[in-house]
Structure 1
Amino acid sequence: MPAVPAGLAGWTIGLAVAWTAFQGLAFWASFAAADAYGRAVDAGASVMDVFTWYDVVSLPFLMVQVATFVVACLWLQESRAVAVAVLPRERHVRRPLWIWFGWVVPVVSLWFPYEVVRDVRSGTTGLRGAPGLGLWWASWLIAMWASNQTGLAGVGLGVLSDHPSMFPFVEGVATVATAVACVQWIRIVREITAAQRARLEAPAAA
């Protein structure tokens, strides 16, 4: 039987919290960035020529995002192996490769990761209901949409590049949605980890 990936679960939670913290910093920095971008637009310049604290936050934020993706996918991969081992009859609608590619492939990224997490959860706990999963996924999609808008503005594209005054509002939406998604994600990771321990460690201890 596979081991409980408790270490990866802990890192997954910690990095999710770090992601949320950096998103909060991006929201804070967006106010000064909006002013600087607005002056650039009024002067006929590109927002790409402006450097602010928002740009300073962006690089470490990106590094945290990449680390979060890698660790969370590793945790999901190990957790799927546990789910298959303890409840082999539970159906997983997506193949293991979608644990990684589902987040980045256009269009299918709108629902494939949700299905992966849903099936890992049900395959581990044996529960078909998914309390909290819907809220987590809806919040994640909203956060990703808002982050994409600000990302496009940073390279001179999208609506925000022409209307930089909306920058703090969109970052605020991203921050609230990220915080909600983070809380729900932590609950999901803890629930799955607790079920893994109950199924794999308790019998061994007995």
Structure 2
Amino acid sequence: MLCTRCRIRTAVTDDGLCTFCSGTRPPLPDGLLPPVPGPGGWGAGTWPRSPVGLSRAVTALLGVVIATDVFAIGTGLRLRGFWDRLAMDGSLGVHRADGRLAERLYGIAGVAQGTALTATAVVFIIWFHRTRRNAEVFDAGVQRMGPGWAVGGWFVPIANFWLPYRVAGGIWEASAQTRSDGGWRTVPRTPLNLWWSAWVATLLFSRFTGSTWARAEEPEEIARAAGLVAAADTLDIVAAVLAILFVRAVTRMQVERAAHGALPATVVPGAHK
């Protein structure tokens, strides 16, 4: 019977979980040693920990982010219409009940976006750190940065535009390159590169649109800024969708690699040259 959680490995516990998902760890095969510490002096556990539950939580929260973005786009474009009519023909609809309601809904959308983004960021970073520690088990030799950077790298000004990507690259390489026969393969980084490009573009464009909105005073300027904010929210949806694909790809590869029982190249002589 397959594991009821990952649906890949054979269930070994009474509640239908495999060794990877249940947290139980079989002994190392004869002749193999635990993996060595990677960059930064961090040690690694002998066996990886399942990222499946965290990946599902991240995926669900990213869905909430997408929903709040859609709500913000709808309310923002409606508000933009009121300001556009004021600029075009002097219509005072924005100051009447409908216009005030549109402004309130737009404010609610902003709060919802901020809340969803914060919750998603927390769970995503926990998942990111989990997969980085797993990557230390799979192959510490290809890790360019220590596991701590999977958390701290996001909070370094300016450098956070590339530090997490370097960590993600090590995670991808360690998770992707094992075949069932113990050989090595190279999986294209397309999901990683697309997600990171969209994420950086979203950050930069959102900062630009935010400053444009803050400076807007005339009806024409407010209408234009509202349109730009809606475009930024659309780009954020694209980034969220690509993030889901990245999270699912890394989680799937790590589950598969754990299922193959592959250990790092540092303890499997000749596995990676």
Q: Shorter-chain TM-score: what band?
A: 0.7 to 0.9
Cα distance in 2 for residues equivalent to 1:3 and 1:174: 36
Cα distance in 1 for residues equivalent to 2:208 and 2:83: 15
Contact 2:132–2:150 under 8 Å retained in 1:
no
Contact 1:153–1:161 under 8 Å retained in 2:
no
**Which of these two proteins has the greater Rg computed from alpha carbons?**
2
% identical equivalent positions: 23
1:71 matched to 2:123? The reply is: yes
Alpha-carbon distance, 1:202 to partner: 4.5
Aligned to 1:45: none
Cα distance in 2 for residues equivalent to 1:175 and 1:88: 38
Alpha-carbon distance, 1:161 to partner: 5.2
Distance 1:161 1:26, change over 3 A: farther
Alpha-carbon distance, 1:11 to partner: 0.8
Aligned to 1:179: 237
Q: Determine which structure has the larger helix proportion and give its number.
A: 1
- 1:134 corresponds to which of 193, 205, 209: 193
Alpha-carbon distance, 1:177 to partner: 1.9
Letter in 1 for 2:147: P
Alpha-carbon distance, 1:120 to partner: 1.2
1:27 matched to 2:73? The reply is: yes
Unpaired runs of at least 5, structure 1: 43-49
TM-score for the superposition, normalised by structure 2 = 0.62
Contact 1:33–1:52 under 8 Å retained in 2:
no
Cα distance in 1 for residues equivalent to 2:211 and 2:139: 44
In structure 2, the residue corresponding to 1:2 is in which secondary structure?
coil
Distance 1:56 1:150, change over 3 A: farther
Aligned to 1:12: 58
In structure 2, the residue corresponding to 1:169 is in which secondary structure?
helix
Contact 1:26–1:171 under 8 Å retained in 2:
no
Cα distance in 1 for residues equivalent to 2:222 and 2:153: 32
Cα distance in 2 for residues equivalent to 1:115 and 1:161: 41
Alpha-carbon distance, 1:179 to partner: 2.6
Unpaired runs of at least 5, structure 2: 1-46, 91-101, 178-185, 263-273
- When structure 1 is superposed on structure 2, of 168-177 and 29-38 the one drifting more is 29-38
Cα RMSD of the aligned pairs, angstroms, is 2.8
Letter in 2 for 1:132: P
TM-score for the superposition, normalised by structure 1 = 0.79
1:193 matched to 2:244? The reply is: no
Contact 1:143–1:177 under 8 Å retained in 2:
yes
Contact 2:210–2:229 under 8 Å retained in 1:
no
Cα distance in 2 for residues equivalent to 1:143 and 1:196: 28
Letter in 1 for 2:168: V
Contact 2:69–2:234 under 8 Å retained in 1:
no
